[in-house]
Amino acid sequence: MKSNNKYRNSIIEKKIKKFNKTYFISISLIFILMLFIFVIANIITDDKEFSEIENRNLQNKPKITSENYVEKFNSYVSDQFFSREKFISLKSRVDIILGKNKINDVYIGKDNQLYEDFKIKSKDDLLNKVDVINEFKKQNNDLNVKFILAPTATSIINDKLPKDAPVDDEIEYIKKVEENLIDDIEFIEVYDELKKYKSDYIYYKTDHHWTTDGAYIAYDAFCKSVGIEAKKKEDFEQIVASNDFYGSLSSKIGLFGLNKDELKLYIPNNLNVIVNYVTEQKKETSLFSSKKLESKDKYQVFLDGNYPLIEIENDKNVDKKILIIKDSYANNFVPFLSENYGKIYLIDLRYYTDSLRDFIKNNNIEEVLLLYNVNTFNEDDSIFNLSS
């Protein structure tokens, strides 16, 4: 009996070994086949210039003689990997299923509200940037200078942030900037007004910008500060330009479908306007670029995106002009202001390389508004170009 059991067990062991061998050979062949398919697919697939999901340019195949060839080639392989965008999206979904609430410095909050992480660079950096603004005012003593430093959704609708998310306090940062500005610069505080409407749709769910309704709150605050009457929302033609806008934060984590945003335009009525993109030597007759609604970054429908210098001229209040030194938060703010100023100059110091001092002098500028969101102001150093 023992002999039969021993024989039977021996047969079973042989079958198990044979099965395991066949299984592992099959898995190995499938892996090699898949690897072969991916290699062939990578070879025959054309390189992409731009990633719609990540909203950035991709690394193309570098020349062997190029500087940092190995580093660039590794980036090239990573960027041009077959079906890379699908893998990025899949990874983000798996991370969420596993309970991860932060991907690439983007927090995923309640109702899938996305938030930028905010980390103060340093107190010295903050004070140095304020000193540059103060010095700008001192060097242009005749200028009427105002400053809006806008908070982001991270501080205004922070009740949807993941619990105990270690973000720094944007409002404290903004107040510190305000405290260190000289009295000759008027700081226009908008965070309390934005908080009043935090339950409204004033920040996008998938993008780092405020919505057009959020921008209107800042516009209204600005008009009160300069003593002019703000136009009512009803004075503008309101159009929902898109119901499926996925913004910069979705792009950053490569995740779409959990939420989508509505992109609303407030179009000034009876406004004859010329928008001059100076460096690009092109002129348009609208504050909005409808072709951008067909692209990934639909927020660029406002003023066609960011440019070094834009000059906007219309036939209303032709005796009033203003220079706005800005980041992209100003782009959906400007259409409101076009009802009050006949000429608006927009300078983005991230791209503008000419002398700002000469521009102000040559165009007889008397009024300047600095308009930044707190995250860009904190992270970006282009404000130091204010002294150029």
Per residue in 311-329, pLDDT (tens digit) is 999 998 889 999 999 999 9
pLDDT computed for residue 279 by the predictor: 94
Res. 94: pLDDT tops 90:
no
φ/ψ bin of 206: left (φ > 0), alpha (ψ from -120 to 50), beta (otherwise)? alpha
Res. 42: pLDDT tops 60:
no
Q: What is the pLDDT of residues 235-294, one digit of tens each?
A: 999 999 999 999 999 888 876 567 899 999 999 987 899 999 999 999 999 999 999 999
Sign of the Cα torsion 30, 35, 40, 46 reads positive
133/129 Cα distance (integer angstroms): 7
Contact (Cβ atoms closer than 8 angstroms) between residue 102 and residue 162: yes
More confident residue, 27 or 200: 200
Per domain, the residue ranges of the chain are: 2-79, 112-387
pLDDT computed for residue 55 by the predictor: 46
pLDDT computed for residue 64 by the predictor: 65
- Please, what is the average pLDDT of the chain? 85
Please choose, from the candidates 352, 359, 344, the residue with its C-alpha nearest in 3D space to the C-alpha of residue 309. Answer: 352
Res. 38: pLDDT tops 50:
no
